[in-house]
Structure 1
């Protein structure tokens, strides 16, 4: 049996979602559907429409090497494509749920939590930046990311128009779209005076002709384009190395560390869960609880 399908090209159908979902979501859909199509090609199966047995087999194969969260995300992508193609959805069958439960029981490992970039680390990372335009940018990015409890995709999406200077010299920042705010209602967040000073220094270096709040710097000159999300992760890792942390400790940091560390610091300062959720734009108490677990241990010990 050939792995080819008579269904319309799924990549064309997926393009119908452009603009309705975040770019990161679209990248995930493409990667997951590519993985499913490649698996079907190897197995000689038809991907669209897929049978319940094919999807179950794919889930359990993926579960041998992938985290349950990845397997579940792949399942969502298969479901979405069948609906876009107006085909019967095999993922509604109870056998699919049973296969997914087998995957989760076989790999019952808690998600790895990024190390929190708390205020203690932030001070060291800021001090470790080079005395150059890129160092000025890096200090502003790190401080702002911490103050706003912001995701990396939100941080690099900011523009000058999202800033409004307050009477005390700090900034009010409009985060226009986030993972939990797909329709762009936005949330307001605020900087400290210290972060505002770092931002003003960077804006003077960047100049008024660039709209992106943060941009690449090449040979000490700001370049008029946006940053990639990998820049944030690379900045945090490099800052940890410059600050003299061990290789093992550097590995514990990720692009999510700013958000995690700021949330943990709010707990250290006695803020309640509702306040922390509002500050970071969380809608799930379960997600926030993972961030705060290590901080709670430190508070009470």
Structure 2
């Protein structure tokens, strides 16, 4: 049996932050931030309990998960468990997270949470047309109309939408576009997926590009003092655009609050279902690999099979 040197363990205990640097480039920056935060929360919890975080015992991890369950969704708890697992592996310590007691604890947590996962309000064609109509007749309006229409037809996540570059667009002879979405949450290695647009959306994008001008890397960029700025937009820009468009359209506050940066992807998927497209076509259009995941997007669609 191999015994850990107590001094070595103490050193590693204080160096998990440094060890996490080894993950850079292997995970998306947002995922890295989440894991770093999750481990920090676990370490702080252990310190308050007066117990060691590394190496953690099975009982320690179970206690942490159970306490987290009172305020956090199962998906968050699962991610924190995985972050603890990664930290132990990076520190080359015995990993307690695969113990059967951990599995049983997590099953109890899931069974105790009866609330359905929160789904963003779908920004369907009805709302898209409203949101396009209220955009101002200025450069911001040109950009916003192109972003809304393109995000809807490409079924993008907000991170995918702001990451698009002019070089990702191919204008076709039928006045539509072929677009490659090079990196997404479900495509960490950047194989990319192909999507297409309508002629109407292609026109909106062309109008924006004509005003924006050349020599700018990202397709959508900030506007400062009436001029395009050569840098990318933050993902929160998409969320703010959708929220402000909903408000400008005169929608009730409760409905406005239900929209999120994910609403374009949700609404477009629901519209494709209602238009009669089969599961395979919808999965291809949105880049889904799992029918189960797609099912969660479609479960709130206003689609009556008996009508």
Under TM normalisation by the shorter chain, which class is it?
Answer: over 0.9
Alignment counterpart, residue 71 of structure 2, candidates 65, 70, 74: 65
Distance (Å, rounded) in 2 between the aligned partners of 1:34 and 1:298: 47
Contact 2:221 2:228 (8 Å CA) reproduced = yes
Residue number in structure 2 paired with 1:251? 257
Distance (Å, rounded) in 1 between the aligned partners of 2:158 and 2:49: 38
Contact 1:264 1:291 (8 Å CA) reproduced = yes
CA 1:26–1:245 in structure 2 vs 1: closer, same or farther (change >3 Å)?
A: same
Residue number in structure 2 paired with 1:6? 11
Confirm whether residue 77 of structure 1 aligns to residue 91 of structure 2. Answer: no
Deviation at 1:297, TM superposition (A): 4.2
Segments of structure 2 that go 5 or more residues without pairing to the other structure are 1-8
Segments of structure 1 that go 5 or more residues without pairing to the other structure are none
Q: How does 1:145-294 map to 2 (within 5 A)?
A: 145-294=151-300
Aligned residues: 298
Deviation at 1:108, TM superposition (A): 2.1
Contact 1:5 1:49 (8 Å CA) reproduced = no
Deviation at 1:34, TM superposition (A): 1.9
Contact 1:267 1:296 (8 Å CA) reproduced = no
CA 1:65–1:94 in structure 2 vs 1: closer, same or farther (change >3 Å)?
A: same
SS in 2 for 1:174: strand
Alignment counterpart, residue 44 of structure 1, candidates 50, 54, 62: 50
CA 1:298–1:246 in structure 2 vs 1: closer, same or farther (change >3 Å)?
A: farther
Distance (Å, rounded) in 2 between the aligned partners of 1:227 and 1:44: 44
Contact 1:236 1:254 (8 Å CA) reproduced = yes
Give the RMSD, CA atoms, in angstroms: 1.5
Contact 2:274 2:303 (8 Å CA) reproduced = no
Distance (Å, rounded) in 2 between the aligned partners of 1:6 and 1:52: 21
Distance (Å, rounded) in 2 between the aligned partners of 1:145 and 1:5: 49
Residue number in structure 1 paired with 2:39? 33
Q: How does 1:19-30 map to 2 (within 5 A)?
A: 19-30=25-36
Q: How does 1:131-142 map to 2 (within 5 A)?
A: 131-142=137-148
Provide TM-score, normalisation by structure 2. 0.93
Cα deviation, 1:258-294, whole Å, max 9, x if unaligned, reads: 0010000101110111111111001111111111112
Distance (Å, rounded) in 1 between the aligned partners of 2:208 and 2:147: 9
Confirm whether residue 92 of structure 1 aligns to residue 105 of structure 2. Answer: no
CA 1:244–1:5 in structure 2 vs 1: closer, same or farther (change >3 Å)?
A: farther
CA 1:299–1:219 in structure 2 vs 1: closer, same or farther (change >3 Å)?
A: farther
Provide TM-score, normalisation by structure 1. 0.95
Cα deviation, 1:205-256, whole Å, max 9, x if unaligned, reads: 2211210111112222222111111111111111100111000000111111
